[in-house]
């Protein structure tokens, strides 16, 4: 795999000729909606398959997989335009075997999803995922659980088709649709209520064929630190090894880091209890904050430096964002609000605004500036956009082997970003339950 950054005047044909690959492969691999309109600074992933196959009349995907000794999931990963479905047609060129992964040690990838996800995007993404956390179950005052909006049972069923393990995600979401720190405090400090919650968790795990639970309790505060550990310990004992226990952790850089977001998460104690921990290494750039990369590499490394000192590295998943932000300038604290956009939307916006995409070599993240002119030049508002591209995904994913981590957690997989999955597929053997 090569990551090519588009230069002024370049076309897909010119780039294909430079690397000796078919134009069609660049277009399909990168899901280029308008191949004749590239953006300066845009990243394109150039792949070099080891084995391809020209589909013949009467072929089925399973027969092709058997013929070459590969899995159906690997065919889906190598051919994302299949959309995770087995239908093929004569004359279709399939990548049967891609390039040898850069790193041989298998890694796990978890994705986070809402039940209303577009099913085509879901099926296209699941072949790359070891786990899928379905956002989210909430909690009532009596300890009963609130089901996610939409059908999580359908998602669990689809997830199982791809050898991906579905995880029940638990947060402090209430019937009113808000996250409640007060509710979490009650659950953690009232052992009887906490045990009711635990029993309800186990009942749903068993009845809906989940493979485990992903607990995400945030803003606990120092006063809830020990009681949270105790709750997780009781939950783990009740799961009794039949189900996985994942715990999401705030991005700490030291054990005594001040702040309500950090103080309630005891990395060392939780790391001993959980099967996996997701370190939420994103949101340095955020909706109401000053413009910044969402996951600047130096900050991510500071968090991982501490994480591996407190938790066994084979229990850690590093968070990777699948989105960006668009800030109007100048930034005014408490007033400026950034708009969220997908990485693909960020590239399209750059193209629409004729902005050159730049790359911060320190933060390992792409960005650009543009002017929005509602009525005239006098009304022009400058904007800055930070997002992710192939190079930034590659930089963040390579931290997994650098730190010996279990893998990555992607927030979120509601949209399909080709560069992320092309890069992950070229770097790693992704673990699957096959």
Tell me which residues are annotated as active site.
218
The DSSP call for residue 107 is B
The C-alpha angle with vertex 283 and arms to 281 and 284, in degrees rounded to 5, equals 95
**CA pair distance 350, 237, nearest whole angstrom:** 51
Contacts of 216 (CB under 8 A, 6+ apart): 136, 169, 170, 171, 247, 248
Angle in degrees, 0-180, between the axes of helices 181-189 and 225-239, rounded to the nearest 10: 70
Instruction: Copy the structure tokens of residue 250.
Output: 């705030």
What are the DSSP calls for 211-233, one per residue? -EEEE------GGGHHHHHHHHH
**CA pair distance 434, 431, nearest whole angstrom:** 9
**CA pair distance 24, 27, nearest whole angstrom:** 5
Contacts of 10 (CB under 8 A, 6+ apart): 38
Contact 146, 135 (CB under 8 A): no
- The stretches of 141-296 forming alpha helices (DSSP H) are 152-161, 181-189, 191-207, 225-239, 260-263, 267-273
Rg over alpha carbons for the chain, rounded to the nearest Å, is 23
**CA pair distance 98, 48, nearest whole angstrom:** 7
Contacts of 257 (CB under 8 A, 6+ apart): 263
């Amino acid at each position: 795999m090569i990551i090519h950054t588009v230069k002024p005047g370049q076309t897909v044909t010119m780039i294909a000729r430079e690397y000796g690959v078919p134009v069609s492969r660049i277009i399909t691999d990168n899901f280029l909606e308008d191949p004749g309109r590239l953006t300066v600074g845009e990243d394109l992933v150039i792949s070099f398959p080891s084995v391809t196959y020209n589909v013949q009349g009467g072929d089925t995907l399973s027969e092709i997989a058997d013929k070459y000794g590969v899995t159906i999931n690997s065919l889906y990963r190598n051919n994302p335009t299949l959309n995770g479905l087995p239908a093929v047609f004569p004359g279709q060129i399939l990548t049967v075997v891609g390039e040898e992964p850069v790193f041989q040690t298998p890694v796990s990838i978890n994705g986070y999803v809402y039940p209303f996800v577009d099913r085509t995007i879901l099926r296209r993404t699941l072949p790359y995922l070891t786990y899928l956390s379905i956002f989210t179950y909430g909690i009532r005052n009596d300890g009963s659980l609130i089901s996610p909006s939409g059908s999580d049972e359908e998602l669990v069923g689809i997830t199982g088709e791809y050898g991906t393990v579905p995880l029940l995600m638990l947060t402090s979401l209430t019937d009113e649709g808000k996250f409640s720190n007060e509710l979490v405090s009650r659950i953690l400090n009232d052992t009887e209520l906490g045990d009711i919650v635990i029993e309800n968790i186990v009942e749903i795990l068993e009845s809906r064929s989940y493979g485990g639970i992903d607990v995400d309790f945030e803003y606990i505060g120092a006063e809830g630190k020990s009681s949270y550990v105790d709750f997780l310990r009781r939950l783990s004992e009740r799961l009794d090894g039949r189900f996985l226990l994942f715990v999401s952790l705030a991005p700490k850089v030291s054990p005594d880091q001040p702040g309500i977001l950090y103080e309630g998460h005891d990395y060392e104690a939780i790391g001993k209890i959980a099967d996996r921990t997701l370190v939420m290494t994103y949101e340095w750039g955020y909706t109401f904050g000053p413009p910044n990369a969402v996951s600047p590499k130096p900050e991510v490394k500071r968090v991982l430096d501490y994480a591996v000192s407190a938790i066994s590295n084979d229990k850690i998943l590093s968070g990777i964002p699948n989105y960006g932000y668009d800030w109007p300038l100048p930034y005014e604290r408490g007033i400026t609000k950034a708009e969220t956009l997908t990485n693909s939307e960020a590239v399209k916006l750059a193209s629409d605004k004729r902005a050159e995409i730049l790359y911060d070599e320190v933060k390992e993240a792409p960005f650009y500036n543009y002017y929005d002119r509602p009525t005239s030049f006098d009304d022009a508002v400058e904007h800055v956009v930070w997002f992710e591209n192939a190079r930034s995904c590659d930089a963040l994913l390579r931290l997994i082997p650098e730190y010996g981590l279990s893998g990555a957690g992607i927030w979120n997989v509601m949209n399909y970003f080709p560069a992320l999955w092309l890069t992950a597929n070229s770097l790693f053997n992704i673990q699957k339950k096959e």
